[in-house]
Amino acid sequence: MSYLYDLHTHSTCSDGQLSPKELVRLAKDNGVDVLALTDHDTLEGVSMAISAAGDDLHIVPGIELSSLWNGRNIHVVGLQVDIDCPMLASAVEQQSEIRIERAKTIAMRLEKAGILGAWDGAKHYAEGSIGRPHFAQYMIDAGYVDSFAQAFKRYLGSGKIGDVKNRWPALAEVVSWITASGGIAVLAHPDKYDLTRTKLYTLLQDFVNAGGQAMEVVSGQQEPAVTSKLLRAAEDFSLLASCGSDFHSTENLWQSPGKMSLLPKGCKPIWEAW
């Protein structure tokens, strides 16, 4: 019998809808055997997930770190990290300070664009690490936009006024924190960065040079053509393959815990290296 792995999920400790406890319950109901909680730039929820899981399912301690590479915001998932590692704790503290300063800048820019009360509004929704989705939620509830998609398209997405990314540490530095804390660095959702094949391969080369060992060959429910492309890339760089739903909210049915596409034949699943 093979286990069902979901190695990329979010909770209320970052921009997810469910508490770690509620997430564990939903994952269990969906048949997940091994679950990684990978909140943005925080380890806060991991111990809660572990205690909520008990013997029902196995929790992999994880985190999704924000970084900068060639002017782009790249996400690196760390799996099997030591949540008590002092170096990682101080790196996470630094990320959290960056998030707060960045959110203040985003709020100021949105205010200038006529979105009143952006700071208090976003803070109201952020139980843990604050990010753009909290601004999006505020803009929806205050009637400035109709949807998350519209909030990102008009204000928060790549190149828009609320896209403040220049403070994040370099990709290589973030990868080094993960490996130094005993974890495996996984390049998150490589297809989401809108890179040409040449740029994707440059990113993968830099990631490998920095000590990255795995990439997400599957993120949520994805097109077979994307899976083939990512399988090929993983093979070309001898990277282990990870898979995760990138679950945030029950409203997104294509990103539900444990419901992502299957890892393709021919790749080397990351758990075989554990």
Residues that bind ligand AMP (CB under 6 A): 15, 40, 131-133, 148-149, 152, 157, 248
Residue 132, binding choice from ligand AMP, Mn ion, none, Cβ under 5 to 8 Å by partner class: ligand AMP
**21-26 LR contacts (CB < 8 Å, sep 24+):** 21/48, 21/49, 21/52, 23/49, 23/247, 23/257, 24/49, 24/52, 24/53, 24/56, 24/57, 24/59, 25/52, 26/250, 26/257
CB of 263 to Mn ion, least distance (A): 18
Binding mask 38-77 vs Mn ion (x if CB under 5 A, - otherwise)? Answer: --------------------------x----------x--
Shortest gap between Cβ of 144 and Mn ion (angstroms)? Answer: 20
Residues 3-22: x/- map of binding to Mn ion (CB under 5 A)?
------------x-------
| Smallest distance, ligand AMP to C-beta of residue 27, A | 18
Q: How many residues does the chain have?
A: 274
- Cα–Cα distance, 118 to 114 (Å, whole number): 9
List beta partners, residue 246.
none
**Binding partner at 152 among Mn ion, ligand AMP, none, C-beta below 5 to 8 Å by kind:** ligand AMP
Q: Which residues pair with 65 in a beta bridge?
A: 76
Q: How many residues bind Mn ion (CB under 5 A)?
A: 5
149 binds, among ligand AMP, Mn ion, none (CB under 5 to 8 A by kind): ligand AMP
Of the two residues 142 and 149, which places its CB atom closer to ligand AMP in the complex?
Answer: 149
Give 100 or 273: the residue with its C-beta nearer to ligand AMP.
100
246 binds Mn ion (CB under 5 A): yes
Looking at beta carbons, which residue is closest to ligand AMP? 131
Identify what 157 binds: Mn ion, ligand AMP, none; CB under 5 to 8 Å per kind: ligand AMP
Q: Is 191 near Mn ion (CB under 5 A)?
A: no
Measured CA to CA, the distance from residue 222 to residue 2 in angstroms comes to 21
| Per-residue CA distances from 88 to 5, 43, 209 (Å) | 25, 10, 20
Contact range with Mn ion by CB under 5 A, out of 51-59, 161-169, 185-193, 258-266 = 185-193
Which two tokens mark 149?
Answer: 């998609």
Cβ neighbours around 231 below 10 Å, total:
18
- The vertex-95 CA angle with 80 and 173, nearest 5°, equals 65
Residue 231 or 243: the one with the smaller Cβ distance to ligand AMP is 243
Q: Strand pairing of 240-244 and 5-6? A: unpaired
Residues at the site binding Mn ion, with contacts judged by CB under 5 A = 15, 64, 75, 188, 246
